[in-house]
Structure 1
Amino acid sequence: MSAGSPENALSVNLVKAGSTKIRYPAGLVRDDGTRITVRAPWAAPHARDFGFVRFEPGDVLTEHYWRDRWYAVKEVRTVGGRLKGWYCDITRPAVLRGAELLVEDLDLDLWVSADGSSVLRLDEDEFEESGLADRDPSAAEAAVRALDELEHLARTEGLTGLVT
């Protein structure tokens, strides 16, 4: 069975503040009971330039979600296979229900360039404005710990070992 086969098709549902932020089709690559790996094309119809990386139609994301960790790591490659880097979302642990992968985005993100020379913490202002620290202090603490953990790992060992 290939990742794109109908038997492995699922929908990634990224939720933010109780509403669906984006939903897109993906192919299940592997599920070992703890980590769920899917592959999906860049979901937007147009390119998006973040300043530090440009996501374009045709880019392929291999996305790793954990049932026991507060983050997701997305390996981003060009249509030709060149690694652009890793976009990491801080999330609650993922939940797979049938053919739907439910992921709650907690606003914090991390970008790691392909060569590891650039490690950027992103959206900390959005995280503060979200009010999560007031509504759910333990979740906010877990989110910050997850971001710190990923940043440390990216700067010391790189993310390749985490997702292979």
Structure 2
Amino acid sequence: MSTTSVEVVLVKSGRTKIRYPAELVGDDGARVTVTAPWAAPGVRDFGFVRFEPGDVFTEHYWRDRWFAVKEVRTGEGMLKGWYCDITRPAVLGDGELLVEDLDLDLWVSADGSSVLRLDEDEFEESGLAAHDPDAADAARRALDELERLALAGGLAGLLAPSRPSGDGR
């Protein structure tokens, strides 16, 4: 399969937070997968993981789910873990992958020993529950679902390549 360049556009609170080029490596109709190098300037040290120049992100976005899962590896290929964003379902069109970040995040370490819910305070302060309670409920359910999956043995099943329908298995 030949790769196609797309622009990932991450929107937060109605404003573009970041946009960066990525290579489209898969689209099964429900899940879009891209790969991209660390796009922000410099190093971002969260305390539990550092994102830095040379890191490679394989990012999975769904059109029918309220999250994105980003597998993070060093430039040498060592798995750091998975950074999961709670988002509205992604939209791919006209060379752009549009994703709306809803503040909640989850970190899962490479060995699965650390599963951290992040930014719940930012989510509460965002006011989403007041102006779009259905979206706030969907976001909370998505975070709970990802946390359950991570604690039950990781995200591998979620991220496994989907089989073509009608393959007889």
TM-score, normalised to structure 1, is: 0.96
* Match of residue 90 from structure 1: 86
Partner Cα separation in structure 2 for residue 56 and residue 163 of structure 1: 23
* Match of residue 122 from structure 1: 118
1:19 aligns with 2:28: no
- The count of corresponding residues between Structure 1 and Structure 2 is 160
Partner Cα separation in structure 2 for residue 67 and residue 131 of structure 1: 24
* Match of residue 60 from structure 1: 56
Partner Cα separation in structure 2 for residue 163 and residue 83 of structure 1: 14
Deviations 1:3-62 (A, max 9, x none): 4xxxx0000000001100000000000001100000000001201100000001000000
Identity of aligned residues (%): 78
TM-score, normalised to structure 2, is: 0.93
Q: Tell me how far 1:161 sits from its aligned partner.
A: 1.5
* Match of residue 109 from structure 1: 105
Letter in 1 for 2:136: A
Pairwise CA RMSD of aligned residues?
A: 0.7
1:99 aligns with 2:85: no
Partner Cα separation in structure 2 for residue 45 and residue 30 of structure 1: 27
Gap runs ≥5 in structure 1: none
1:37 aligns with 2:27: no
Runs (4 or more) in structure 1 with deviation over 2 Å come to none
